[in-house]
A = this chain, B = another copy of it.
Amino acid sequence: MKLLEDRILRDGVIVDGGILKVDMFLNHRLDIPLLDKLGEEFYRIFKGHPVDKILTIEASGIAIAALTARHFGVPAVFAKKAKPVTMRDDALHTSVYSFTKQKSYEVYVQRSFLTPGEHILIIDDFLAHGNAAEGLCDLAEAAGALVSGVGIAIEKHFQGGRERLQARGILVQSLAEIEKIENGQVIFLHQP
List chain A positions with a Cβ less than 8 A from chain B: 15-16, 19, 21, 23-25, 28-33, 35-36, 54, 58-59, 62-63, 65-67, 69-70, 73-78, 80, 84-87, 100-101, 109-110, 113
- List B contacts of A33 (CB < 8 A): 70, 73
- List B contacts of A62 (CB < 8 A): 58-59, 62-63, 66
- List B contacts of A35 (CB < 8 A): 66
Q: A63-B66, A86-B15, A86-B16 are in contact. Are A75 and B113 (CB under 8 A)?
A: no
Neighbour of A28 across the interface among B15, B28, B77, B85, CB < 8 A: B77
Complex CA gap A32/B54 in Å reads: 10
A72 CB to nearest B CB, Å = 8
Q: Are B78 and A30 in contact (CB under 8 A)?
A: yes
Complex CA gap A113/B24 in Å reads: 8
A97 CB to nearest B CB, Å = 16
Q: A16-B86, A62-B63, A85-B101 are in contact. Are A69 and B28 (CB under 8 A)?
A: no
Q: Are A70 and B69 in contact (CB under 8 A)?
A: no
Q: Are A32 and B74 in contact (CB under 8 A)?
A: yes
Q: Are A30 and B75 in contact (CB under 8 A)?
A: yes
Complex CA gap A16/B87 in Å reads: 12
- List B contacts of A21 (CB < 8 A): 86
Q: Are B29 and A110 in contact (CB under 8 A)?
A: yes
Neighbour of A32 across the interface among B59, B75, B87, B100, CB < 8 A: B75
Smallest CB gap from A77: residue in B: B29
- List B contacts of A28 (CB < 8 A): 77-78, 80, 84, 109-110, 113
- List B contacts of A109 (CB < 8 A): 28
Q: A62-B63, A80-B28 are in contact. Are A19 and B86 (CB under 8 A)?
A: yes
